[in-house]
Chain A
Amino acid sequence: MRMKFLPAFAVVLAISACADKDKNAGDTSGMGNGSDVGHIGGGVNSNGVQPGTEQDLAQNVGDRVRFETNHSDLTTEARATLDRQAAWLKKYGNLTVTVEGHCDERGTREYNLALGERRAEAAKRYLVASGIPANRIQTVSYGKERPEVAGSDEQAWAQNRRAVTVVN
């Protein structure tokens, strides 16, 4: 049940993230929140985002993958996202990135630091196996210190178990 639920949930997230970022950036290009949906995975710059930027990665490629509780295995959904990231990183060969590993709050502090590192390394390994030079990818673990969403239920915890690729 949970596995089926997650991908749909991730799309909703991507939409809300777009809306937030547009607001934060003071973007007045007239792109409506709803219209962003059609651009996910589509051509760059059609939604007013500078190509080859972190915003481009987040909105048009997908900058984060999710994990099951206490696991660092890459799901089918995660591998698809990382495939798109690898293609994007090949296109912008001068960029370097950091993969940030995160955990939900239902583990202890030290274990979560280690688990976050393991998740970030799992994502990095996949990108390297996809042809991205290892020296373009750093990793850092934030354990449970930087949750993506506030909340104290399974939905929030699932969203917080993630590896996020950010442009250096």
Chain B
Amino acid sequence: MKIAAFLILSLFACILPAHAEMHLDITNPNVEPMPIAVTDFFGGAGQESQVGHQIAQVVSADLASSGLFKPIDPAAFAQTSDALRQGPHFADWKVLNVQALVSGTVTAQGDGRLRVEFRLWDVLGEGQMAGMAYTTQPANWRRIAHIIADTIYQRITGETGYFDTRVVYVAESGPYQKRVKRLAIMDQDGFNTRYLSDGSNLVLTPRFSPTVAEITYMAYVNNHPRVYLQNIDSGRRELLIDLPGMTFAPRFSPDGNKVILSLAQNGASNLYVMDLRTRQTRQLTSDQSISTAPCYSPDGTKVAFESDRGGSQQIYTMNADGSGVKRISFGSGKATYANPVWSPRGDLIAFTKISGGTFYIGVIKPDGTGEREITEGYDVEGPTWAPNGRVLAYFKENPSGPGGRERTAKLYSIDITGQNERQLPTQGDASDPAWSPLIP
């Protein structure tokens, strides 16, 4: 599963003057999707043209999934991929109301690797906005396509993309009263699913390390629920902390050197942090309440967590050393708040709220202002951020079957504007998603 290093070259044939560039404001919830033509990448022999076709399809699907782009029907294309190698006839694309055009080529190298070139064209400005070349093993063509889609997204929106990412989650099967739960990992578009555990142990809440090489999660091994670390490629699993009691709700620090988690003992759940280099454990909270679901701010200086120390479950922030605890969620009536997850941008904290028997996913500023609900349902839970902090994923569980005696659980993504809710394709039922950073 090791991904070979990519050779990346910039191909800037002609740089557009800045004032001419097209731009999409993705903070506007009512933004009209930009019409874009993603043409098949030109390839000669069988494999080259097939990969060229597949790359265009993945790029097109990625961009469409963002809700910000509207790929036009290839049947309407004004030029063939072959002809586009000489450059676009912009006038012919303009009449199709296309604003952006993507072209490319796939060429087999002598050593068996593929060289993939792509160019992003501004049709109205009649110039090239981006151009890159990648050389890689043919098996990596999907990652190349995601990287190209990220490049296009970034060039047009000004925001980092999130397509070359993975989602680790809990795959569910079996009856509601005895669910079988397995760790699973997939590309963000649902492809390349792999199972990282066999279902013999109940597993919950997997989270990525910042390098996307490891996960930490909770598993019931011999009916003893505790936090584990697991290398994704080797499958090697290790117990994180061997203390009496239950360890749960783990999450890596942004530098990857620590894991913060809860330890439940004698009816109280307190927060601890383990330094993975020294294996030293430090206790951050110390009382009889439930404090759990800790999450670092992206700069590592603060921690958001939930606690019922004030009588009901609410969100608090504190300094990373446990000092300066401050409640940030209040809400109205008997609303309770959980699962605080700090945005990678640092500007927002996503949460789960339960109010009047309904679950909500929302966001709030770290200072406790600006609370906003984004989606709701019977059970919507476990928000996780795309690396650009513009999109959230979460899971949604609903009663199903006769008399509502079974459960259906699926993963969804949604813009923080509340627009563009989409189900993430999984092979079966799924919960507890964690969205990776961009793959290094």
Whether, in the assembled complex, A56 has its beta carbon less than 8 Å from a beta carbon of chain B, the answer is: no
Least CB separation from B202: chain A residue: A145
The segment out of A20-28, A81-89, A104-112 that lies at the interface is A104-112
Cα distance A121–B406 in the bound complex, in angstroms: 30
Chain B hits for A140, CB < 8 A: 223-225, 246
Which of A109, A110, A145, A147 has the largest count of B CB atoms less than 10 A from its CB?
A: A110
Which residues B213-258 have CB closer than 8 A to chain A? Answer: 218, 223-225, 246, 248-249
Whether, in the assembled complex, B105 has its beta carbon less than 8 Å from a beta carbon of chain A, the answer is: no
Which residues B40-56 have CB closer than 8 A to chain A? Answer: none
Whether, in the assembled complex, A54 has its beta carbon less than 8 Å from a beta carbon of chain B, the answer is: no
Nearest CB of chain A from residue B65's CB, rounded to whole Å: 27
Whether, in the assembled complex, A149 has its beta carbon less than 8 Å from a beta carbon of chain B, the answer is: yes
Bitwise interface map of A from 110 to 146 toward B, beta carbon under 8 Å scored 1, else 0: 1101110110011001000000000000001101011
Cα distance A110–B291 in the bound complex, in angstroms: 10
Cα distance A117–B437 in the bound complex, in angstroms: 33
Of B177, B205, B306, the residue contacting A148 (CB under 8 A) is B177
Chain B hits for A151, CB < 8 A: 403-405
Cα distance A115–B381 in the bound complex, in angstroms: 17
Given contacts A109-B432, A114-B290, A121-B266, whether A150 and B205 have CB atoms under 8 Å apart is no
**Count the B residues whose beta carbon is within 8 Å of the partner chain — how many?**
46
Nearest CB of chain B from residue A1's CB, rounded to whole Å: 17
Whether, in the assembled complex, B60 has its beta carbon less than 8 Å from a beta carbon of chain A, the answer is: no
Of A109, A110, A146, the residue contacting B177 (CB under 8 A) is A146
Least CB separation from A108: chain B residue: B338
Chain A hits for B313, CB < 8 A: 70, 107, 111
**Count the A residues whose beta carbon is within 8 Å of the partner chain — how many?**
29
Nearest CB of chain A from residue B361's CB, rounded to whole Å: 11
Chain A hits for B223, CB < 8 A: 98, 140
Contact A114 B225 (CB under 8 A): no
Cα distance A56–B20 in the bound complex, in angstroms: 81
Whether, in the assembled complex, A35 has its beta carbon less than 8 Å from a beta carbon of chain B, the answer is: no
Cα distance A70–B308 in the bound complex, in angstroms: 10
Contact A109 B262 (CB under 8 A): no
Whether, in the assembled complex, B379 has its beta carbon less than 8 Å from a beta carbon of chain A, the answer is: yes
Cα distance A115–B264 in the bound complex, in angstroms: 9
Nearest CB of chain B from residue A65's CB, rounded to whole Å: 15
Contact B246 A110 (CB under 8 A): no
Given contacts A140-B225, A151-B405, whether A122 and B267 have CB atoms under 8 Å apart is yes
Chain B hits for A110, CB < 8 A: 205, 248-249, 262, 292-293, 306, 338-339
Contact B175 A109 (CB under 8 A): no
Cα distance A122–B288 in the bound complex, in angstroms: 13
Contact B378 A152 (CB under 8 A): yes
Bitwise interface map of B from 371 to 407 toward A, beta carbon under 8 Å scored 1, else 0: 0000000110110000000000000010100011110
Nearest CB of chain A from residue B291's CB, rounded to whole Å: 8
Least CB separation from A72: chain B residue: B267
Cα distance A168–B245 in the bound complex, in angstroms: 18
Contact B177 A117 (CB under 8 A): no
Contact A118 B267 (CB under 8 A): yes
A140-B246, A147-B176 given; name 18 further pairs at CB < 8 Å.
A70-B312, A105-B397, A107-B354, A109-B204, A109-B381, A110-B262, A110-B306, A114-B292, A118-B264, A118-B268, A118-B269, A125-B267, A143-B204, A145-B204, A147-B177, A150-B404, A150-B406, A151-B405
Spell out A's residues near B (CB within 8 Å).
70, 72, 98, 105-111, 113-115, 117-118, 121-122, 125, 140-141, 143, 145-152
Those 9 A-B pairs whose CB atoms lie nearest each other, nearest first? A150-B405, A121-B267, A114-B269, A108-B338, A152-B399, A117-B264, A114-B290, A152-B404, A110-B249
